[in-house]
Amino acid sequence: MEYIVVNGQKVLKGRVSISGAKNSAVAILAASIASGGTCLIDNLPQIEDVTSMVAAMQAMGVKCEFTDTNTLRVNPTEMTSYTFDERLAKNMRASYYFMGALLGRYKQAEIPLPGGCDLGARPIDYHLKGFTALGAKCIQEHGFVKLQADKLKGANIYLDSPSVGATINIMMAAVFAEGVTLIENAAKEPHVVDVANFLNKLGAKIGGAGTATIRILGVPKLTGGDYTVLPDPIEAGTYMIAAAITGGDVTVENIIPKHMDSVTAKLKEMGCNITEGGDWIHVCGSEVLRSCEIKTAFYPGFPTDLQPQMATLLCKAQGTSTVTENVFDSRFRYVSELKRLGAQIKVEGRMAVTKGSCVFTGAEVAATDLRAGAALIIAGLCAKGETVIGELYHLDRGYERFEEKFRSLGADIKRIKRDE
Ligand code: UD1
């Protein structure tokens, strides 16, 4: 088994370059199978979710070839299957994007119900209602969703809440629906815009991505095309918070600072000194961190995927802070692990309350999910002594060269293998 070992209390200093966004990359890979030719997708992060997506695409007969570590050439024109490999879908949420992409382009799909981080109930009813509104038949049996349509027809689709996955999935299917589709109460996350930009580059006609109403005019086919995945705001936020917790001095580079506004605002409120330029943010930690309130929300609100990392930082702040989780039912599973490192944190329903001024002390903990793993590493970075983090497969799904990037900032962090 592999573990990450962190010897804490090293102040992070230097520059870190952010990789392509995981949540964009996985959706763009799925969308690429709807293209009518070769796509060259650049700035793909080298993470397990991307590896699994590519393996699943290859199993469907899609030609995939890495031209370098972060660039993939995809050609789906000789696809042989419209079924996503069940074993590869187990740990991953993004397999659901093949529903929209396959249904749109090939009018049929068989996709296992998605896996991914356990954050409470994660239904896909909005996705299926959207596909049904476009004219598809959706059947759930034997752990698979089977989709089929003779043709798709544009429709007005209202989402009960602005789900990222449903917005992207319905958008992908609607690209090939006859006439106009409107998605109302759509998610506005940067990766929704990224996927729309990619599809538009291939000839789709999508307008309004990034607003609450997305308008899609159906087209009969797409071409190939080249595209660069946008930088990962969650990875960037993770390093910003790590800089703050160690009282460090870190420039987070190759990002879109606008995407970080909610994080920047909260770190400033806590007392960090933050400056930004065209594609970077500089975070200078403060000796005294002030308490604050965090409420997760859909974009441009504070991202739920940075909630565990931010709650960890708030444990160090002076006084009581609160963290309210508004997106997922059950995103505080990491709290019991954080307590093993000394956090004084109490969960009451959707809210976690931190007592503050915590001195973390190293212990052995398990990453209960992807962002929980990042939070535990952040705690380890400022903890006294050695923190050992297990269950790394969660982390490897979403962070590229995590230890290497932290080491380049001066952290004492390494990966070890241990016989159990
Ligand atoms: C995506 C991201 C995930 C992020 C989340 C919120 C990917 C692969 N994952 O997950 O990292 O944390 O957005 O930013 O991009 N809901 C329903 N029915 C549905 C769909 C969603 O009730 O059909 C609910 C969910 O239970 C949840 C909320 O809507 O409470 C948000 O979910 P959604 O935005 O869809 O998240 P995911 O696409 O699963």
Residue 71 reports pLDDT greater than 80 = yes
**How many angstroms separate the CA atoms of 86 and 60, rounded?**
12
Type of residue numbered 403: E
**How many angstroms separate the CA atoms of 188 and 168, rounded?**
10
Mutate which of 111, 161, 163, 325 for ligand 1? The one with the most ligand atoms within 8 Å of its CB, which is 163
Residue 2 reports pLDDT greater than 90 = yes
**How many angstroms separate the CA atoms of 346 and 350, rounded?**
11
Respond yes or no: is residue 292 known to be catalytic: no
Q: Which residue has the higher pLDDT, 88 or 307?
A: 307
Which pLDDT value is given to residue 85?
85
Q: How far is CA 344 from CA 56, 166, 306, in A?
A: 43, 37, 19
pTM for the whole thing?
A: 0.96
Compute the distance from residue 163 Cα to the ligand 1 centre, in Å.
Answer: 5
115-124, 304-313, 330-339, range with the lowest pLDDT: 115-124
The pLDDT confidence band at residue 400, using thresholds 50, 70 and 90, is very high
Residue 120 reports pLDDT greater than 80 = no
Number of other residues whose CB lies within 10 A of the CB of residue 392: 18
Which atom of ligand 1 is least distant from the CA of 114?
39
Q: Which residue has the higher pLDDT, 121 or 131?
A: 131
Which atom of ligand 1 is least distant from the CA of 94?
8
Question: If we measure between CA atoms, which residue out of 73, 52, 56, 53 comes closest to residue 64?
Answer: 73
The pLDDT confidence band at residue 339, using thresholds 50, 70 and 90, is very high
Compute the distance from residue 304 Cα to the ligand 1 centre, in Å.
Answer: 10
Which atom of ligand 1 is least distant from the CA of 126?
23
Structure token pair of residue 266: 């909260």
Compute the distance from residue 234 Cα to the ligand 1 centre, in Å.
Answer: 15
The pLDDT confidence band at residue 238, using thresholds 50, 70 and 90, is very high
Which pLDDT value is given to residue 121?
67
Given the residues 117, 138, 292, 382, the one annotated as active site: 117
Compute the distance from residue 27 Cα to the ligand 1 centre, in Å.
Answer: 13
Residue 117 reports pLDDT greater than 80 = no
Phi-psi region of 319 (alpha: psi -120 to 50; beta: other; left: phi over 0): left
Which pLDDT value is given to residue 123?
86
> Which residue's CA is the nearest one to ligand 1's atom 17?
123
Phi-psi region of 178 (alpha: psi -120 to 50; beta: other; left: phi over 0): beta
Which atom of ligand 1 is least distant from the CA of 187?
34
> Which residue's CA is the nearest one to ligand 1's atom 37?
165
Q: What is the mean pLDDT of residues 409-418?
A: 96
Residue 146 reports pLDDT greater than 80 = yes
Which pLDDT value is given to residue 156?
98
Which pLDDT value is given to residue 408?
98
Which pLDDT value is given to residue 323?
98
Task: Please name the residue ranges forming H helices in 90-232.
Answer: 97-106, 125-133, 164-174, 190-201
The pLDDT confidence band at residue 418, using thresholds 50, 70 and 90, is confident
Kindly give the pairing relationship between strand 2-7 and strand 205-207: unpaired
Mutate which of 47, 113, 122, 295 for ligand 1? The one with the most ligand atoms within 8 Å of its CB, which is 122
Structure token pair of residue 300: 């441009």
Q: What is the mean pLDDT of residues 110-129?
A: 83
* 285 and 301 Cβ atoms separated by less than 8 Å: no
Structure token pair of residue 232: 């990962």
Compute the distance from residue 329 Cα to the ligand 1 centre, in Å.
Answer: 11
> Which residue's CA is the nearest one to ligand 1's atom 29?
163
> Which residue's CA is the nearest one to ligand 1's atom 32?
163
* Burial class for 253, CB neighbours closer than 10 Å (0-12, 13-18, 19+): middle
Compute the distance from residue 390 Cα to the ligand 1 centre, in Å.
Answer: 26
Residues 6+ apart with CB under 8 A from 142: none
Residue 116 reports pLDDT greater than 80 = no
Which pLDDT value is given to residue 280?
98
For the stretch 348-389, pLDDT in tens is: 999 999 998 999 999 999 998 999 999 999 999 999 999 999
Q: Dihedral, CA atoms, 89, 93, 99, 100, nearest 10 degrees?
A: -150
> Which residue's CA is the nearest one to ligand 1's atom 30?
328
Which atom of ligand 1 is least distant from the CA of 121?
26
Which pLDDT value is given to residue 91?
72
Residue 319 reports pLDDT greater than 70 = yes
Question: If we measure between CA atoms, which residue out of 373, 357, 371 comes closest to residue 413?
Answer: 373
Question: If we measure between CA atoms, which residue out of 160, 180, 172, 169 comes closest to residue 104?
Answer: 172
Q: What is the mean pLDDT of residues 119-141?
A: 91
Which atom of ligand 1 is least distant from the CA of 49?
8
Which pLDDT value is given to residue 92?
79
Ligand 1 pocket, CB under 6 A:
23, 26, 93-94, 121-127, 161, 163-166, 304-305, 327-328
**How many angstroms separate the CA atoms of 8 and 378, rounded?**
9
Cα dihedral across residues 241, 244, 245, 246: positive or negative: positive
For residue 351, the cross-strand partners are: 324, 348
3-state secondary structure 125-166: HHHHHHHHHCCCEEEEECCEEEEECCCCECCEEECCCCCHHH
> Which residue's CA is the nearest one to ligand 1's atom 22?
123
Residues 6+ apart with CB under 8 A from 51: none
**How many angstroms separate the CA atoms of 344 and 320, rounded?**
10
Q: What is the largest CA-CA distance in the chain?
A: 63
Number of other residues whose CB lies within 10 A of the CB of residue 419: 4
Q: Dihedral, CA atoms, 354, 359, 362, 367, nearest 10 degrees?
A: 20
* 45 and 280 Cβ atoms separated by less than 8 Å: no
* 241 and 267 Cβ atoms separated by less than 8 Å: yes
